[in-house]
Chains A and B, each alone.
Chain A
Amino acid sequence: MFAFCQWLASTPWSIALHESIWVYPIIESVHVLTLCLFLGLVVIMDLRLLGVNMLQTRASEVVGRLEPWTLAGFIVMVISGSLLFYAIPVKAYLNIFFRIKLLFLVLAGLNTLVFHLTIFRQMSAWDLDHRPPWRARLTGALSLLLWAGIVVAGRMIAYNWFDKQS
């Protein structure tokens, strides 16, 4: 894996991206500002699943109407994030916060997957309950915690306090 990252870092596009004056900051800005679209609407959905907000609106409506937007935001996040990684593969690989971020991303993905395979399918049964079922609330709470962790870990990638020495 480390060898792969080293090879990736040696490719001309990676070097060009890393050394670019404008392109790297622009991709970084896109990555950060898409937080509003992605994280912002995920938070609104999670708060609905927790039963703390928008209780007059059906939970299925909040999730159904906002999820396509979060998906669009997520695609932008993944593309811009991959490019940022591609610019600094070795540094990212050695960075503990990058690893934490990836781990949390996998967990957040599993959380969403479990939600869709289970409680999401029975949403019409509890759509307007003021206290959604515990599994819906758990999904919302886990999602909020994991995404907050992902944002914080992502920010901390810029610091190499705990880097392994290569």
Chain B
Amino acid sequence: MSVLSFFTACENNFLGEAIRGSTWLFPAIESVHLLGLGVIGGAVLVVNLRLIGLGIARQPTPQLWRDTRPWLLGSLAVMLVSGALLFTSEAVKLYYHEAFWVKMTSLLLSIVFTFTVVRKVALAGPDRVRPVWRWVVALVSVLLWSGVGVGGRWIGFS
């Protein structure tokens, strides 16, 4: 089964047809997707700002990581579900849209980077990681997540 035929199958089912056939379903799911964007942005920013000594800087990094983790995971789940629904409504169009592939690549890299490198650095004691590496990690993390957002916005321009 080729990737394209998989995408075609994703589109040609009751979900995709229902969303395509409805006037308000697509914008409603998109709104949920946007609200998730806000929450995910907040959770990511609190940790990454803390890594470079900004934001809630007097609290230990491991504590902020644990405090924001449920919101990061929760909003990520909302994003993946709402995103998958949006995907079923126009999968074949997305197959041919380079922004979609940029977004999915950034998303994969962001998730892996966040739950490996960022997690490890955030949970390490204050003296374990040199400031320059905290800066690098925070910068890479924010850039990767931004790639997901920009890619997503770019999908809308076609």
Identify the A interface with B (CB < 8 A): 25, 28-29, 32-33, 35-44, 47, 53-54, 56-57, 61-62, 65-66, 69, 147-148, 151-152, 155-156, 158-159, 161
Given A40-B43, A43-B42, A56-B63, the answer on whether A65 and B34 have CB atoms closer than 8 Å is: no
Residues of B within 8 A of A28 (CB): 153
Q: How far is the CA of A33 from the CA of B41 in the complex (A)?
A: 9
The reply to whether B31 and A155 form a contact with Cβ atoms under 8 Å apart is yes
**Contact: B38 with A151, CB < 8 Å?**
yes
> With contacts A43-B38, A44-B42, A159-B27 known, is A36 near B149, CB below 8 A?
yes
B65-82 residues with Cβ-Cβ distance < 8 A to A are 67-68, 71
Majority secondary structure of chain A interface residues (helix, strand, loop or mixed):
helix
Q: Is B44 interfacial (CB 8 A cutoff)?
A: yes
Known: A39-B35, A43-B71, A54-B67. 11 other contacts (CB 8 A): A25-B157, A33-B149, A33-B150, A36-B45, A36-B145, A36-B149, A37-B41, A40-B38, A41-B42, A54-B64, A159-B27
Are A156 and B31 interface neighbours, CB within 8 A?
A: yes
Taking Cβ atoms with an 8 Å cutoff, the residues of B that contact A are 23, 27, 30-31, 34-35, 37-46, 49, 55-59, 63-64, 67-68, 71, 145-146, 149-150, 153-154, 157
B56 near A66: Cβ-Cβ < 8 Å: yes
> Given the complex, which residues of A lie within 8 Å of B41, measured CB to CB?
35-37, 39-40
**Which residue in chain A gives the minimum CB-CB distance to B58?**
A61
Asked if A40 and B42 make an inter-chain contact with CB atoms under 8 angstroms apart, the answer reads: yes
B37 touches A161 (CB 8 A): no
Q: Which residue of B lies closest to A147 (CB)?
A: B38
Beyond A152-B31, A155-B30, A155-B31, whether A36 also contacts B44 by CB under 8 A is: yes
21 interchain pairs (CB within 8 A)?
A: A25-B157, A32-B37, A33-B149, A35-B41, A36-B45, A39-B35, A40-B44, A41-B45, A43-B42, A43-B71, A44-B42, A44-B68, A44-B71, A54-B67, A57-B56, A65-B56, A69-B49, A151-B31, A155-B30, A155-B31, A158-B27
Pair A61/B56 contact, Cβ less than 8 Å: yes
Residue contact A40 to B23, C-beta cutoff 8 Å: no
